Amino acid sequence: MSQNTNVSTAVSSDARIAQHARQLSKQLQLLGERLFPPSSQKSMKTFTSGEAAQLLGVSDGYLRQLSIDGKGPSPDVSATGRRSYALEQINELRHHIAAVKPKDAVSHLPWRRRGEKLQTIAVANFKGGSAKTTTTIYLAQYLALQGYRVLAVDLDPQASLSSMLGVQPEFDLQEGDTLYGAIRYDEKRRPLKDIVRKTYFAGLDLVPGNLELMEFEHETPTALINRQTTNQDIFFRRVGNAIAEVEADYDVVIIDCPPQLGFLTLSALCAATAVLITVHPQMLDVMSMSQFLNMTGSLLDVVAEAGGATQYDWMRYLVTRYEPSDGPQTTMVGLMRSIFGSRVLTHPMVKSTAIADAGLTKQTLYEVERQQFTRGTYDRAIEALDLVNGEIESLIKQVWKRN
């Protein structure tokens, strides 16, 4: 009797858990539809003439004279005479200035030149909460603001990056609309150029993600056992081969890896020319990163034996969600610097309420109006973000041998 009672209780508990899951899922869906309706579209802010001039590396007076002379795109002029530019117009101005100042063309239009290879950066760590997605989107948007052609690849089935960039995975995507569509093993494989989507953020395109990506994790073991792949299209080459199809269209590709060390992450690491490992400076997170490095090293050795050797232009550790006043965090950062030296980026990603508050509405600080936040809070957060992303940009320029 007692055994039957236990079984009955277990079944009842399972049913209760399933019921709670359905109720929570329904309420979250209703909340999501109310805050972010399926028909809603994200849009980008405009930039004041001073902000535009700063992005372009010219004076505000120079932009004013261009506007007076009717050269370049016409800014929007308010009733008070204030000029503002859309990001698309700023990119048009980059081309115009590069044409009239050919000696300074690289500084105004930083696209890849002949002989400069595509930079593919994998943002990785198999522990959730290390700010991989936050790092990916802010880096991608920063580089787009500087004038680079950027492709963000959402390789995480949770698809947070896609949501932040205006794609609602549960509404907007059909079968094959993720990277899986370009790396699958059957005849339904599609060219990556047919999957890439433009975003509201000029200069930044997206390969979205959703749960469909898990199919690659499930199908790869079967493909390996059944020998459905040749050495050319074995699993660890497929992401790189897909990206190569659109290589000419971009300067930088940034891959948001899933928080697990599976076939998707390994494929991204093999496709990458550089690796950025995010780590929250807490003891458990650093211990988890140690395991991640051990497992990754062992698995990449196996991949190398199969012909998938990886040679990175650079590998760096980025300290995320850092609180300078937190003693234990400072100790962990010191430990990392003593072990990894200059491979730890000089500037950490400082924890900021402004970043968190913007994220609540699926926005970033690069796309919201400054007046929505306390000036000091916003400025400190932007400064920290620009220092981190500028340091990564300098690594890209070093690979291209630019001063």
| Rounded-to-integer distance, Cα 28 and Cα 45, Å | 28
Say if CB 153 and CB 207 are below 8 A apart: yes
Judge whether residue 169 has pLDDT over 80: yes
pLDDT for res 1? 47
Q: Which residues of 73-92 are buried (b: 16+ CB within 10 A; e: fewer)?
A: bebeeeeeeebbbbbebbbe
Q: CB burial class (10 A; 0-12, 13-18, 19+) of residue 166?
A: buried
Region 385-398: what's the mean pLDDT? Answer: 97
Region of 57 (left: φ > 0; alpha: ψ -120 to 50; beta: rest) is left
Is the whole model's pTM more than 0.85, yes or no?
yes
- Count the neighbouring beta carbons within 10 Å of the beta carbon of residue 265: 25
Strand partners for 124: 277
| Rounded-to-integer distance, Cα 48 and Cα 60, Å | 10
pLDDT for res 291? 79
The per-residue pLDDT for range 83-121, each reduced to its tens digit, is 899 999 999 999 999 898 888 788 889 999 999 999 999
Closest CA to 231 of 241, 222, 219: 241
The dihedrals phi and psi of 111, each to the nearest 5 degrees, come to -60, 160
The per-residue pLDDT for range 172-217, each reduced to its tens digit, is 889 999 999 999 998 999 999 999 999 999 999 999 999 999 999 9
Residues 6+ away with beta carbon under 8 Å from 226: none
Which amino acid, one-letter code, is at 49?
Answer: S
